[in-house]
Structure 1
Amino acid sequence: MLVISIQADYIKNLELQKHPEGGWFKETYHSDDQYFAKESNGMRYRYTSILFLLDYNHPSHFHRLNHDELWFYHDGQSISVHCIFPDGKYKEIKLGKNVANGEVLQYRVPKETIFASEVRNKGAFGLVSCVVAPGFDYHDFELLKRNDLNSKYPNLKTLIDRLAN
């Protein structure tokens, strides 16, 4: 199938590796300098950037960052970004090229938002770039548990069961 071939080509040629939250990634850039980020209580790059590829069987599981993350669509099917904002409100953002149908080419996930992402079509993939500022560090990353999310957001159980560990 052509889509699987294109996805495999991206993974190979972009040298993408498995990401702990799901999908494949490669860090592509970070600022030359670092500074003390108060909200992280540590030194951080001013920004970091990755290429990130998801497919139907490999979503990005629910997690939270203490910094904003910008997503930029590149190729493949649209990606649904499921956000649970700090006030408890839920919103699905569709990242993709069909802007006439409500998709967006880029989106900012605000800091402290719980979010997960997925490609909804079997056999499909989506390729994006993600930029975090201040730069990504695993100390600023929290992978959330299914039971904890279900107890706090029972109205989102179906979504949480699909996209949380």
Structure 2
Amino acid sequence: MILSQIAEKSIGYSSSINAAFKELLTGKSYGAETQGPAAPEVKPQLTHEQKAKQDKIMQQFYPNYMVDSGIRPGSHPMYLTIDKDHPSLLHTVQYEQSWMYSIGDAAIVHCFTQNGQYYKVRLGLDKNKDEVHGFYADPGTFIAIETAENNGVGFSQISIELPDGNDGAIYVPRKDKLLQLFPAQRDIIERFSVKE
């Protein structure tokens, strides 16, 4: 089965190489057919009000961000800037995530895995404070990110790779379910859950 991202951008031929060359050389048809990519599916457009509402909701998870068109095949980077008043609230996506420290204060990433484990990662450059430059989160891991405010800069910037073809969906955990699974992390869950 061809992945949809490949099928949407590929061209196929229903003949042998020999028959295709023969057609090219003679200009005559020997039954070869060219199959081009499917026409892109038209996605419904949001109204101005719907877009404004969506942007307001997204700011809870990605307070200040920029997505770069980039040149990396298969993905593009997103740069996320957070500060004390604008953390990234608990959310997950359906693909793996590679998080990297960029600039500013260290960032603390709180991770709640699908198999019931909690851990936190300090993204930064100070190895004496157990900071790492980057880490990988499995698909479905709920994360929240806050600045460590350890260098007096006032913000943290981190980056993540977004795979091409993702639908941009963000999944928000139910606070009551997280509290049942992770009672020891009540303070973190309360601070970084979406306010209803």
Give the alignment's TM-score, normalised by structure 2.
0.61
Q: Structure 1 residues 130-139 or 55-64, which shifts more?
A: 130-139
The percent of aligned pairs where both chains have the same amino acid is 21
| Structure with bigger gyration radius | 2
Residue type matched to 2:59 in 1? H
The higher-RCO structure (CA 8 Å, 6+ apart) is 1
CA contact (8 A) 1:56 1:123 kept: no
Residue type matched to 1:26 in 2? M
The SS at the match of 2:69 is strand
Distance in 1, matches of 2:113 and 2:69, equals: 28
User: Over aligned residue pairs, what C-alpha RMSD do you find?
Assistant: 2.5
Q: 1:137 aligns with which of 156, 161, 167?
A: 167
Distance in 1, matches of 2:186 and 2:134, equals: 27
CA contact (8 A) 1:69 1:133 kept: no
Matches for 1:44-63 after TM superposition, within 5 Å: 46-63=74-91
* Gaps in structure 1 of 5+ consecutive residues: 1-16, 34-45
The SS at the match of 2:103 is strand
Q: 2:130 aligns with which of 91, 94, 102?
A: 102
The SS at the match of 1:137 is coil
The SS at the match of 1:143 is coil
Matches for 1:1-12 after TM superposition, within 5 Å: none
The SS at the match of 1:108 is strand
Q: Which has the higher strand share?
A: 1
Figure out how many residues of one structure are paired with residues of the other and give that number. Answer: 136
Residue type matched to 1:106 in 2? G
Distance in 1, matches of 2:64 and 2:92, equals: 18
Q: Are residues 1:160 and 2:166 paired? A: no
Q: Structure 1 residues 49-58 or 129-138, which shifts more?
A: 129-138
The SS at the match of 1:158 is helix
**Distance of aligned partners of 1:97 and 1:32 in 2 relative to their CA distance in 1, 3 Å threshold:** closer
**Distance of aligned partners of 1:19 and 1:137 in 2 relative to their CA distance in 1, 3 Å threshold:** farther
Match of 1:65 in 2: 93
**Distance of aligned partners of 1:135 and 1:156 in 2 relative to their CA distance in 1, 3 Å threshold:** farther
